[in-house]
Structure 1
Amino acid sequence: MPRRFPPVHALSAFEAAARAGSFAEAANTLCITPSALSHRIRLLEDFVGERLFIRDGRAATLSPFGRSYLDVVCQALRTLTDFPLPHKTLPAQQRVKITVPPTFARYLLMPKLASFTEAHPDIVVEVFLSVPLYDLCLNESDLEVRFGAGKYPDMVTTKLFEEPAFPVAAPAYLERIGGIATPADLSKATLLRSALEMWQPWFKEAGLDWPEPTTALRVDDLGLLLEAVRHGHGVGLTRQHFAQQMIASGEVVELFDIRLASPPHAYYIVYEQSPRLRPEVTLFIDWLMATYAGT
């Protein structure tokens, strides 16, 4: 049976927290978020099967087992650190880890990301995907772009941009149901649903006193919602950046000249407050703001 080894990143987190006497200070030292450091400590506690810290509110002190285990960990890390490395003088690679919704990544980030990587070739960008409304934690990312209402307690939250919402449908679907000339004609259509793109605010804008639909297909990814529209499943709400190519090609059509100017959901940059935000992360945040300003 192969031997199991404790994760090195968890060992370094344990050592830093024990030395600092504070999870927050240790997280700053390691240039990670406090939640990421807590996650690493829990991984190590699961591995050893013992509590390493006694937590009392914000304070965390070593448990009796933690004190004895710390000596072993420090010795092991010292051995790794002192081992001669031929390329040890090479500078560490700067990295920015960003978590984004799939639709934002596909339609908005990837078409423009080259302008950042070409301007900063020494910074590696790592892109991770999250599902809006479900993955509401930063984990080990430096920052996130979130699509939502902008209410994220204990986080630095900056609106990136918002776009008007409007209904679209596939031409074949419109022909199948006999066409839609006015907003009231939506009563004969299947209204595709998403928690990210609610119908009722648009209904109000269109002068319809209708409740939120509760039946028909629900898709909580805006890119998949648009694909469902394209394949003729019904009428769905979308935004200009997502639908512009399909509208230009005639795959879907905008139904009315009625757009919801300020939908409930928009894109936000979200990250945990840190007194020492790394320069490369600040550069990426500034690039996001400049790239999507006025979008």
Structure 2
Amino acid sequence: MNNQVIDEFISPTPLNVRRLPPLSSLRAFEAAARHASFKRAAEELAVTPTAVSHQIRALEESLGLALFARAVRQVRLTEAGAQLYPVLQQGFDAFEAVLLRLRQPNRRAQVTISATNAFTAKWLIPRVAGFHALHPQIDLQLHASDEAVDLGKRQVDIAVRYGRSPYPGLVAEVLFEDSYAPVANPLLRVASAADLATVRLIHFDWKSASPTHPTWDRWFAHAGWQPDAALGQLRYSDEGHAIQAAVAGQGVALLSLAMVAQELASGQLVQPFGPAIAGHAYHLVTRADHGPAAATSAVLAWLRSQAPPG
């Protein structure tokens, strides 16, 4: 074997070498994108806003791309930044979750989620077992209330708010948009809007008045259908009770398709006709004065993974 062959045999060949920007630059970008603020990112990272700006500028120069459009007291993601942010956010969430398990293998973390009664009962509870299978070291505590909780005063880590942003003083992101359509027990044999004259319309009360709420009046206007003034009605003070009434065959209800997804899949309810109208959006809301703990980040990542595709 000649010397050239020997050198090639023993010389290390770099395999699977990652060519990534410095982690500090990626962390600065992810925090600034999450907060939509260099100042708040700096507070989370315990550095100055100037340091965050320099880190992000260095990252942009290494990529040859602008990640933020900068204005006075405001920054927003460019198209390139919007593509990079969710990938980094999910990656850092995963890092935190694994490090939590490594550092505290015998300590159980607890994360409290506050949400409306209907969202807790119909969307969260059916998914809790799946979460615990993925994260057996984290205990979930569910706080169900139709009243918005003060995250600064209650021991609540994550709130799921239903409505329209902004939420001043809080960090909020859209979990998913909602839509409403008429649903009924299939035994009622409701097949078209004309059949509404033969059944009761199930209503439920909203906690506040707004013309944007998905109500029967909005649905009829959107559908271009003039309701009969003599239509029978059944009204509940709670959305969950309206869902139960629809399943029981007490009438046709205009309900969130996300909240009755299981009933539709099992055949307990059917959506016999449209149209569906837009509801509001479910938002994940956390405190803005500090970043979420590792366990909270793991729950946020899981909630995002459960959201219907967009």
- Report the TM-score when normalising by structure 1: 0.55
For 1:137, which of 150, 158, 164 is the aligned residue? 150
For 1:192, which of 199, 202, 214 is the aligned residue? 202
TM-superposed deviation, 1:182: 3.9
TM-superposed deviation, 1:142: 0.9
For 2:238, which of 221, 224, 230 is the aligned residue? 221
**Structure 1 segment 78-227 matched on structure 2, within 5 A:** 93-131=108-146, 134-138=147-151, 139-173=154-188, 180=190, 182-187=192-197, 189-196=199-206, 197-208=214-225, 216-227=233-244
TM-superposed deviation, 1:116: 3.2
CA RMSD between the two structures: 3.5
* Partner Cα separation in structure 2 for residue 213 and residue 141 of structure 1: 46
* Partner Cα separation in structure 1 for residue 262 and residue 106 of structure 2: 43
8 Å Cα contact 2:122/2:259 also seen in 1: yes
Distance 1:155 1:230, change over 3 A: same
For 1:233, which of 229, 240, 250 is the aligned residue? 250
Task: Specify the alignment match of 1:279 in structure 2.
Answer: 294
TM-superposed deviation, 1:188: 5.0
Equivalent residue of 1:124, what SS? strand
* Partner Cα separation in structure 2 for residue 226 and residue 147 of structure 1: 17
8 Å Cα contact 1:165/1:238 also seen in 2: yes
Task: Specify the alignment match of 1:289 in structure 2.
Answer: 304
Aligned residues: 199
Task: Specify the alignment match of 1:256 in structure 2.
Answer: 273
8 Å Cα contact 1:198/1:212 also seen in 2: no
8 Å Cα contact 2:236/2:242 also seen in 1: yes
TM-superposed deviation, 1:210: 5.9
Distance 1:168 1:93, change over 3 A: closer
Could you tell me which runs of 5 or more consecutive residues in structure 2 were left unpaired when the two chains were aligned.
1-42, 44-103, 207-213
* Partner Cα separation in structure 1 for residue 266 and residue 300 of structure 2: 33
Task: Specify the alignment match of 2:263 in structure 1.
Answer: 246
8 Å Cα contact 2:199/2:232 also seen in 1: no
* Paired residue type of 1:256: F
Deviations 1:116-153 (A, max 9, x none): 3333332222222112xx34433221111123334533
Deviations 1:99-122 (A, max 9, x none): 122332333223333443333332
8 Å Cα contact 2:107/2:137 also seen in 1: no
- Report the TM-score when normalising by structure 2: 0.53
* Partner Cα separation in structure 2 for residue 283 and residue 211 of structure 1: 50
* Partner Cα separation in structure 2 for residue 104 and residue 235 of structure 1: 20
8 Å Cα contact 2:200/2:231 also seen in 1: no
* Partner Cα separation in structure 2 for residue 158 and residue 111 of structure 1: 22
Distance 1:242 1:90, change over 3 A: closer
TM-superposed deviation, 1:160: 0.7
Could you tell me which runs of 5 or more consecutive residues in structure 1 were left unpaired when the two chains were aligned.
1-27, 29-88, 175-179
* Partner Cα separation in structure 2 for residue 218 and residue 159 of structure 1: 30
Distance 1:213 1:105, change over 3 A: farther
**Structure 1 segment 11-50 matched on structure 2, within 5 A:** none
